[in-house]
């Protein structure tokens, strides 16, 4: 009877901690924020309908390829990542998939005023530094139309939404700042397999050089995201990506402006990578169970034989 009472008390406090205190602590430590559907309501709506053919010309004249590559159109990046990070503090991403990964309204606002769309004015113009991506001032015609044309061009050359793999979305939107060592991703690209130690060291040196300069640019090295799906969870990652300032006020992480579908792809990528060991864990679990069964069976046989001798 006494034991039962003790058990009841233990169960009661365990449940109280679990249901009462844990979610409370959680809500205090992590502000709960709902996604706004990646609408970017604070940004100016796209007023004009873009023309992709005209946009191709405008894109060339706007000078975007002075800093960005467009590999799918046969235009490699003007600099390698290490030269780019030395000039800009970060490697401007290749724009081949930009029209599919980033929201169209966001892209238009980014072209006209990059710092504002990315929400990093507090780290640049307001802190007396100039932002490395120059704003597009227009080519003399109707600027809104010119911007809309560039966006239409980027969309026209981008793969269709369903052809954008989770990894492509990640590389375009996050890969210039975040490494994912579980997937061999470094900020300067995929870590190759090396035959010679010397080549591996040379590659490592480039990674470290890039990370040093990136740290100077952002004030902090962006974390490796291999484990974030597990440490932060999907909801946090989603709402953080949508508006980093809301969850980490003052952070240097830009609002990258991914579309809703691309945000889901980025999450899928982080889930694939962060939980790739799950299959392995499960199979190890099974092996352990089988081992325990065999062991228990042998122990049983052994006990039987000992007792047989004793009787």
Q: Which residues contact 129 (CB under 8 A, 6 or more apart)?
A: 123
Q: Which is nearer to ligand HEC, 81 or 206 (CB)?
A: 81
Among 48-56, 71-79, 172-180, 271-279, the segment contacting ligand HEC (CB under 6 A): 172-180
**Cβ neighbours of residue 168 closer than 8 Å, sequence gap 6 or more:** 97, 101, 159, 265
Measured CA to CA, the distance from residue 168 to residue 265 in angstroms comes to 9
| Rg of the chain (C-alpha set) | 27
Residue whose CB is less far from ligand HEC, 150 or 273? 150
Regarding 176 and contact with ligand HEC (CB under 6 A), the answer is yes
**Binding test (CB under 6 A) with ligand HEC, winner from 173, 179, 180, 188:** 173
**Residue 218 binds to ligand HEC (criterion: CB under 6 A):** yes
Nearer CB in complex with ligand HEC: 118/164: 118
Instruction: Mark residues 253-282: x for contact with ligand HEC by CB under 6 A, - for none.
Output: xx-xxx-------x----------------
Question: Nearest-CA neighbor of 207 among 71, 85, 70?
Answer: 85
User: Can you tell me which residue has the tokens 């980033």?
Assistant: 102
Min CB(26)–ligand HEC separation in Å: 14
Among 20, 23, 37, 63, binds ligand HEC (CB under 6 A): 63
223 binds ligand HEC (CB under 6 A): yes
Interacting residues with ligand HEC between 1 and 60 (CB under 6 A): none
x/- site string to ligand HEC, residues 122 to 141, per CB under 6 A? ----------xxx-x-----
Long-range contacts of 209-213 (CB under 8 A, 24+ apart): 209/82, 209/85, 210/81, 210/82, 210/85, 210/91, 210/186, 211/179, 211/187, 213/85, 213/86, 213/89
Q: How far apart are CA 234 and CA 10, in angstroms?
A: 33
CB contact set of 142 (below 8 Å; sequence gap of 6+): 48
Q: Which residues bind ligand HEC (CB under 6 A)?
A: 62-64, 66-68, 88, 90, 92-93, 95, 98, 102, 107, 110-111, 118, 132-134, 136, 150, 173-174, 176-178, 218, 220, 222-223, 225, 228, 232, 237, 240-241, 248, 251-254, 256-258, 266
């Amino acid at each position: 009877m006494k034991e039962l009472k003790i058990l009841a008390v233990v169960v009661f406090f365990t449940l109280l901690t679990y249901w009462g205190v844990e979610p409370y602590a959680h809500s205090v430590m992590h502000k709960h924020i709902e996604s706004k559907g990646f609408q970017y309501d604070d940004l100016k709506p796209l007023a004009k309908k873009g023309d992709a053919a005209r946009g191709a010309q405008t894109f060339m004249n706007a000078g975007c390829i002075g800093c960005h590559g467009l590999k799918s159109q046969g235009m490699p990046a003007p600099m390698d990542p290490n030269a780019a990070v030395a000039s800009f503090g970060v490697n401007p991403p290749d724009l081949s998939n930009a029209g599919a990964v980033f929201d169209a309204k966001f892209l238009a606002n980014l072209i006209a005023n990059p710092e504002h769309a990315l929400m990093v004015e507090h780290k640049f113009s307001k802190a007396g530094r100039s932002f490395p991506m120059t704003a597009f001032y227009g080519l003399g015609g109707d600027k809104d139309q010119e911007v809309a044309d560039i966006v239409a061009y980027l969309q026209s050359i981008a793969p269709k939404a369903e052809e954008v793999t989770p990894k492509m979305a990640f590389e375009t939107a996050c890969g210039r700042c975040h490494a994912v060592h579980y997937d061999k991703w470094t900020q300067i690209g995929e870590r190759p397999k090396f035959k010679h130690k010397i080549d591996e060291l040379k590659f490592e040196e480039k990674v470290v050089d890039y990370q040093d300069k990136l740290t100077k640019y952002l004030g902090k090295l962006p974390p490796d995201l291999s484990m974030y799906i597990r440490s932060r969870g999907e909801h946090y990652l989603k709402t953080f990506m949508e508006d980093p300032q809301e969850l980490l006020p003052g952070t240097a992480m830009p609002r990258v402006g991914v579309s809703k579908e691309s945000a889901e792809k980025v999450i899928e990528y982080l889930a694939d990578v962060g939980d790739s060991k799950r299959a392995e864990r499960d199979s190890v679990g099974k092996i352990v169970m089988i081992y325990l069964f065999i062991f228990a069976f042998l122990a049983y046989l052994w006990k039987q034989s000992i007792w047989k001798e004793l009787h």
